[in-house]
Amino acid sequence: MAIRFYLILVVFLLSAIVSFSLYEDQVGLMDWHQRYIGKVKHAVFHTQKTGRKRVIVSTEENVVASLDLRHGEIFWRHVLGTNDAIDGVDIALGKYVITLSSEGSLLRAWNLPDGQMVWETSLHSAQHSKSLLSVPINLKVDKDYPILVFGGGYLHAVSPIDGEVLWKKDFTAEGFEVQRVLQPLESSIIYVLGFLHSSEAVVYQIDSKSGDVVAEKSMAFPGGFSGEISSVSNDKVVVLDSTRSILVAISFVDGGISFQKTHISDLVEDSGKAEILSPLLSNMLAVKVNKRTIFVRVGGEGKLELVDSLSDETAMSDSLPVADDQVAFASVHHEGSKIHLMVKLVDDLDTVLLRESIQMDQHRGRVHKVFINNYIKTDRSNGFRALIVMEDHSLLLLQQGAIVWSREEGLASVTDVTTAELPVEKDGVSVAQVEHTLVDWLKGHVLKLKGSLLLASPEDVVAIQEMRMKSSGRSKLTRDHNGFRKLFIALTRAGKLFALHTGDGSIVWSVLLNSPACARPSGISLYQWQVPHHHAMDENPSVLVVGRCGSDSSAPGVLSFVDVYTGKEISSSDIGHSVVQVMPLPFTDSTEQRLHLIADTNGHVHLYPKTSEALSIFQREFQNVYWYNVEADNGIIRGQGMKSTCSDETADEYCFTTRELWTVVFPSESEKIISTLTRKPNEVVHTQAKVSTDQDVLYKYVSRNLLFVATVSPKGAGEIGSVTPEESALVVYLIDTITGRILHRLSHQGCQGPVHAVFSENWVVYHYFNLRAHKYEVTVVEIYDQSRAENKNVWKLVLGKHNLTAPISSYSRPEMFTKSQSYFFPQSVKTIAVTSTAKGITSKQLLIGTIGDQILALDKRFVDPRRTLNPSQAEKEEGIIPLTDSLPIIPQSYITHALKVEGLRGIVTAPAKLESTTHVFAYGVDLFYTRLAPSKTYDSLTDDFSYALLLITIVALVAAIYITWVLSEKKELSEKWR
Amino acid sequence: MAKLTLFIFFLSSLLIISSSLAFQSDELLVDDDEFGLEGAKPQSTPLHTSSPQPQQTPTFRKRYSDLDLDSKVQFTLEHAFGDSGFSPAGTFSARLKSWSHGGKTLTKLRFSRNGFSDEEKDSFKNLLKGDDFYRIRLPSSVISPPGKEFVVASVRARCLPRDGLDEHFVIHMEGANILAVSYGSLGACQYPRQFKLPAKWSFNSHTILKSSEQAPRTPIFTEEILGGENAEGEVEPPPERSFWAKYWMYLIPLGLVVMNAVTQAANVAEGPTGGQAGGSQVQQSARRR
- Kindly write down the DSSP assignment for every residue of B200-225, as one continuous string: S--EEEEEEEE-PEEPPPPP---HHH
DSSP B26-87: --------TTS-TTTHHHH-HHHHTSS-GGGGGGG-------TT-EEEEEEEEEEETTSPPE
Name the minimum distance, in Å, from the CA of B211 to any CA of chain A. Answer: 9
Give the model confidence (pLDDT) of B159-187 as tens digits. Answer: 888 777 888 888 988 887 888 898 888 77
Q: How far, in Å, CA of B262 to CA of A220, rounded? A: 115
Report the residue from A641, A964, A972 with minimal CB separation from B133.
A641
Give the model confidence (pLDDT) of A135-178 as tens digits. Answer: 776 555 556 678 888 888 888 888 888 888 888 888 877 777 78
Name the minimum distance, in Å, from the CA of A667 to any CA of chain B. Answer: 6
DSSP label at B167?
A: E
Q: How far, in Å, CA of B245 to CA of B252, rounded? A: 12
* Residue environment code for B60-69, b if the CB has 16+ CB neighbours within 10 A, otherwise e: eeeeeeeeee
Cis check for the bond before A754: say yes or no (omega within 30 of 0).
yes
ipTM, interface predicted TM-score of the complex: 0.77
Q: How far, in Å, CA of A874 to CA of A853, rounded? A: 39
Cα separations in angstroms, A687 against A567, A684, A743, A792: 38, 9, 22, 15
Cα separations in angstroms, B229 against A113, A868, A924, B233, B238: 54, 12, 42, 6, 16
Q: Provide the pLDDT for residue A921.
A: 95
Q: Which residue of A has its CA nearest to B48?
A: A817
Give the model confidence (pLDDT) of B277-286 as tens digits. Answer: 444 344 444 4
Say what the pTM is: 0.82
Which secondary-structure segment (H or E) carries A963?
Answer: helix A947-977
Q: Provide the pLDDT for residue A37.
A: 92
Cross-chain residue pair B188–A809, CB shorter than 8 Å:
yes
Name the minimum distance, in Å, from the CA of A704 to any CA of chain B. Answer: 17
* Residue environment code for A230-253, b if the CB has 16+ CB neighbours within 10 A, otherwise e: bbbbbbbbbbbbeebbbbbbbbbe
Interface of A with B in 705-764 (CB under 8 A): 731, 735, 739-742, 744-749
* Residues of chain A predicted below pLDDT 50: 1, 5, 7-20, 428-435
Report the residue from B151, B155, B217 with minimal CB separation from A663.
B151
Name the minimum distance, in Å, from the CA of A948 to any CA of chain B. Answer: 24
A707, A598, A585: which is closest to A658 by C-alpha? Answer: A598
Q: Provide the pLDDT for residue A163.
A: 86
Q: For residue A77, give the amino acid letter.
A: R
Report the residue from B50, B189, B253 with minimal CB separation from A809.
B189
Over chain B, what is the mean pLDDT? Answer: 68
Using a CB-CB cut-off of 8 Å, the residues of chain B touching A741 are 170, 180, 182, 184
CB A524 within 8 A of CB A579: yes
CB A688 within 8 A of CB A702: yes
CB A225 within 8 A of CB A240: yes
Sign of the dihedral through C-alpha A345, A347, A350, A351: negative
Say if A812 is an interface residue toward chain B (CB within 8 Å): yes
Within 8 A by CB and 6+ apart from B193, the residues are A809, B131, B156, B158, B159
Q: For residue A837, give the amino acid letter.
A: T
Q: Provide the pLDDT for residue A17.
A: 36
Q: How far, in Å, CA of A806 to CA of A803, rounded? A: 5
Q: Provide the pLDDT for residue B231.
A: 42
CB A763 within 8 A of CB A780: yes
Say if A629 is an interface residue toward chain B (CB within 8 Å): no
Beta bridge partners of A783: A818
> What is chain A's alpha carbon radius of gyration, rounded to the nearest angstrom?
34
CB A306 within 8 A of CB A295: yes
A220, A221, A270: which is closest to A245 by C-alpha? Answer: A270
Which secondary-structure segment (H or E) carries A109?
Answer: strand A106-111
CB atoms within 10 A of CB B240: 6
CB-based burial of residue A81 (10 Å sphere; 0-12 exposed, 13-18 middle, 19+ buried)? Answer: exposed
Q: How far, in Å, CA of A654 to CA of A612, rounded? A: 9
A544, A533, A573, A541: which is closest to A556 by C-alpha? Answer: A573
Cα separations in angstroms, A455 against A26, A757, A912: 19, 50, 35
* Residue environment code for B13-48, b if the CB has 16+ CB neighbours within 10 A, otherwise e: ebeeeeeeeeebbbbbebbbeeebebbbbbbbeeeb
A329, A351, A338: which is closest to A401 by C-alpha? Answer: A338
Q: For residue A152, give the amino acid letter.
A: G
Using a CB-CB cut-off of 8 Å, the residues of chain A touching B213 are 745-747
Give the model confidence (pLDDT) of B72-128 as tens digits. Answer: 888 888 898 887 888 888 888 888 887 777 677 787 888 888 888 888 888 888 888
Beta bridge partners of A148: A134, A157
Q: Provide the pLDDT for residue A265.
A: 77
